[in-house]
Amino acid sequence: MAVMWQCQVVTSTSTAGAVRQGSLRELNLAVVLRRIAAADRPPSRAGIAAGTGLTRATVSAVVDDLIAGRLVAEAEPEPRTGAGRPARGLVLASDGPAGLGLEVNVDYLTACVVDLTGTVRHHLVRRADLRPVSPADALARLAALAAEARAAAVRDGLTLAGAALAVPGLVDDGGVVRLAPNLGWRDVDVPALLAGHQLAEPVDGVPPLVVDNEANLAALGELYAGPAGPRSFLHVTGEIGIGAGIVLDGALYRGARGWSGEIGHFPVQPQGRPCRCGGQGCLERYAGQEAILAAAGLPGAELPADTAATRLADLAEAGDPATLTALTDAGTALGVAVAGVVNLLDLDTVVLGGGYARLAPWLRPTVEAEVARRVLTAAWAPVTVRPAVLGAQSAAVGGAGSVVRRIVDRPVGWLTRTT
């Protein structure tokens, strides 16, 4: 007689999900705040009570806490309808906590500030080729840009609640960049290099900066900003390498060690062109920026992604045949890979991000054709292929968004802060 789950391990985060008395309020704060964040019109306390099943009394008490904590504000222009006492609309506060989103990439540094409502309040970009710059230097410049953004946020009355840094590479739990090939970084300990800077000072024991892969943060940005609905999608970022962020059931899937999304080496031609990874016929060799540029007869394999994408888009718009062919071929390869992923994960949406966002008009038809041809269930349920809403610099915005989103999902952390 086989015995199952005899010795399953409990994930044991010390309390392992036990619900204490105080958790009630903690959980309901999150429920109410999420409700306010998710509504398309400012909801009333009564509406929230009806929607959640909580009592109006409870909702009022919870909302009082949220307003006192500067997470929620009452909307003066209350939307009225019919008879009865007018409801007072509740909206996320636009003068409370905000998130700082940062990005280091091959040819630019970005810092942006996103408030609780999801509005991008500031967006600073510094263009500069960072490949010859040492990681320490690059991070020092980034810190300066971050300080500038922070000052702008403070002038607006905002309080920065944390920061997220997007990096084009593999990042481990501790914020160490294991490998960022296009930047030439290897084992760069970002928190250590930023020690002393304001960014690195822990607040309430919480490290204020999380470092993450740009594809992951871009996918989060798309999750927050995208049209309602898509709860499971693949966000493909076309750069020199090709990365993917995977959102499943409304949550970013990071993988067993946080290294998911490596789609660049999906085998689209197993007996095809050799790849630096040791395999053959990897997607990157057919739909990577270098491959597209070469096929279009353009130099500059090492160009920054947005420059390359712009150049290709210009040529395509002008009707350059070599470019059009190159994009069609790239789209086909991308479609093969995407179809494989969709077959495996049964996704309903694929988002073209990074450089692909700009090239979507030309890539999309071929990608869609391959998907329709190869995805078994496509006949029953169509797959949407669309460009990223946030476009190129979605990683920084997504990172900033993830900071404030964390507050929406667990407001107690913000409300009980000591500072």
Show contacts with a second copy in window 330-349 (CB under 8 A): 336, 339-341, 343-348
- Closer of 92 and 275 to DNA (Cβ): 92
Residue (of 149, 209, 145) closest to 176 by Cα position: 209
Query: Taking the mean position of all CA atoms in its chain, how far away is CA 177?
Result: 18
Q: How far apart are CA 326 and CA 295, in angstroms?
A: 5
Residue (of 168, 175, 205) closest to 191 by Cα position: 175
User: What does the angle CA 138 – CA 98 – CA 197 come to, to the nearest 5 degrees?
Assistant: 35
Residue 262 touches which member of a second copy, DNA, none, C-beta under 5-8 Å by kind: a second copy
* Distance in Å, CB of 417 to DNA, minimum: 17
Residue (of 253, 218, 214) closest to 347 by Cα position: 253
User: Which range, of 37-45, 127-135, 156-164, 297-305, touches a second copy by CB under 8 A?
Assistant: 37-45
- Closer of 192 and 345 to a second copy (Cβ): 345
Instruction: Give the residue, chosen from 33, 36, 37, 44, that forms a contact with DNA under the rule CB under 7 A.
Output: 44
User: Which range, of 38-46, 65-73, 201-209, 287-295, touches a second copy by CB under 8 A?
Assistant: 38-46
β-strands 233-238, 349-354 pairing: parallel
Q: How far apart are CA 417 and CA 276, in angstroms?
A: 48
Q: How far apart are CA 33 and CA 40, in angstroms?
A: 13
CA dihedral 116, 404, 346, 239 (to 10 degrees): 100
- Count of residues binding a second copy (CB under 8 A)? 98
Q: How far apart are CA 319 and CA 313, in angstroms?
A: 10
- Closer of 31 and 144 to DNA (Cβ): 31
Residue 13 touches which member of DNA, a second copy, none, C-beta under 5-8 Å by kind: none
Q: How far apart are CA 402 and CA 224, in angstroms?
A: 9
Residue 352 touches which member of DNA, a second copy, none, C-beta under 5-8 Å by kind: none
- Closer of 34 and 56 to DNA (Cβ): 56
Decide if residue 402 touches DNA (CB under 7 A): no
Measure CA of the first residue to CA of the last residue in the chain; give whole Å. Answer: 58
User: What does the angle CA 194 – CA 262 – CA 250 come to, to the nearest 5 degrees?
Assistant: 85
Residues within window 88-127 making contact with DNA, judged by CB under 7 A: 88
Decide if residue 20 touches DNA (CB under 7 A): yes
Decide if residue 47 touches DNA (CB under 7 A): yes
* Distance in Å, CB of 132 to a second copy, minimum: 26
Decide if residue 55 touches DNA (CB under 7 A): yes
- Closer of 19 and 136 to DNA (Cβ): 19
Collapsing DSSP to helix, strand or coil, 53 comes out as coil
Residues ≥6 apart with Cβ < 8 Å to 111 = 100, 101, 102, 122, 123, 124, 142, 145, 146, 148, 149, 396
Decide if residue 155 touches DNA (CB under 7 A): no
Residues within window 259-298 making contact with a second copy, judged by CB under 8 A: 259-263, 265-271, 277-279
Decide if residue 13 touches DNA (CB under 7 A): no
Residue 46 touches which member of DNA, a second copy, none, C-beta under 5-8 Å by kind: DNA
Instruction: Give the residue, chosen from 62, 190, 200, 296, that forms a contact with DNA under the rule CB under 7 A.
Output: 62
* Distance in Å, CB of 22 to DNA, minimum: 5
Residues within window 138-197 making contact with a second copy, judged by CB under 8 A: 170, 178
- Count of residues binding DNA (CB under 7 A)? 30
* Distance in Å, CB of 129 to a second copy, minimum: 26
* Distance in Å, CB of 228 to a second copy, minimum: 4
Instruction: Decide: 410 and 30 in contact? Cβ < 8 Å.
Output: yes
Q: How far apart are CA 108 and CA 36, in angstroms?
A: 36
Residue 298 touches which member of DNA, a second copy, none, C-beta under 5-8 Å by kind: none
Place of tokens 């070469």: 294
Decide if residue 232 touches a second copy (CB under 8 A): yes
Q: Please give the residue ranges that form the binding site for DNA (CB under 7 A).
A: 19-22, 24-25, 28, 44-47, 53-58, 60-64, 80, 82-88
